[in-house]
Amino acid sequence: EQEVAEYRKSLAIRVSGFDVPRPVKTFEDCGFAPELMRAIAKQGYEKPTTIQCQALPIVLSGRDIIGIAKTGSGKTASFVLPMIVHIMDQPELQKEEGPIGVICAPTRELAHQIFLETKKFAKAYGIRASAVYGGMSKLDQFKELKAGCEIVIATPGRLIDMLKMKALTMMRATYLVLDEADRMFDLGFEPQIRSIVGQIRPDRQTLLFSATMPRKVEKLAREILSDPVRVTVGEVG
Ligand code: ADP
Ligand code: MG
């Protein structure tokens, strides 16, 4: 405990919440399956970044999380890797329809980046990921979603459009990620986010990542997360 406290202090890491799982030092500590370990090695990721050391065991334990760390700190893998584990843990993967993992991001560029990162790790398992954002044909996206997928990575507006068109159902969704929550709010997506969250079962696992925590984002987090662990890395404005 003392050691963990010292380590966190030295890296400007602040963690709050009940019964917080201990941080990991290596990807091996995460207990990932060999396929996933190979995919991680293939990316050239030798060890988890600071936020990943804290966030991976928390998310892998099924807890909700608020992760606050600056751009470039490796937040994507801290939700993508546990999402793969979460999906592979589903007992009856084939029975229902619709995505299990739902990731919302503010812009099409970010959604696309997350999509690329996800594919690297999902491929080995035959897990299907779809990216859903403006600027692409709605009909093509509708068809792709209809064909089925386990992961959807979307901008909030286009995801709402697809839900209205019944291109997908949220029946199976149990893992929700709001990435760059502050930017989604800046872009006026709060109503869309609330609508999406409202369509996903309340016993889901919810992850919220942000570079900053303005009051409005804090309020949303309090409303939609259950007993979250908050991890902050570095100085945050
Ligand atoms: P953030 O979302 O916090 O801005 P990203 O998830 O986009 O950060 O990661 C930033 C960069 O770091 C990416 O190029 C990613 O591939 C790389 N990266 C992530 N995790 C690791 C790791 N454990 N080791 C080495 N590079 C990593
Ligand atoms: Mg990011």
Domain boundaries, the chain: 2-233
Average confidence (pLDDT) over 105-130: 96
Residue of 45, 65, 70 to mutate, ligand 1, most atoms within 8 A of C-beta: 45
Q: Where are the alpha helices (DSSP H) in the chain?
A: 2-10, 34-42, 50-60, 75-88, 108-122, 138-147, 156-164, 181-186, 190-198, 215-224
Q: What is the pTM of this model?
A: 0.95
Residue type, 15: V
Q: How far is the CA of 211 from the centre of ligand 1 (A)?
A: 14
Per residue in 209-223, pLDDT tens? Answer: 999 999 999 999 999
First to last CA, the chain: 28
Q: Ligand 1 centre and the CA of 71: distance in Å?
A: 9
For a mutational test of ligand 1's pocket, the pick from 27, 49, 109, 231, i.e. the residue with the most ligand atoms closer than 8 A to its C-beta, is 49
pLDDT in tens, 177-197: 999 999 999 999 999 999 999
Question: Mean pLDDT over residues 164-170, rounded?
Answer: 97
Residues with CB under 6 A from ligand 1: 45, 48-49, 52, 69, 71-77
Residues with Cβ within 8 Å of residue 163, at least 6 apart in sequence: 170, 196, 199
Ligand 1 atom nearest the C-alpha of 73 is: 3
CATH topology of domain 2-233: Rossmann fold (3.40.50)
pLDDT at 92 over 70: no
Residues with CB under 5 A from ligand 2 (ion): 75
Query: Which of ligand 1's atoms lies nearest the C-alpha of 46?
Result: 24
**CA-CA distances (angstroms) from residue 181 to 2, 53, 69, 205, 210?**
33, 21, 12, 16, 5
> Which residues 6+ apart lie within 8 Å of 24 measured at CB?
30, 48, 53, 56, 57
Name the CA dihedral angle for 178, 203, 51, 54, rounded to a multiple of 10 degrees: 170
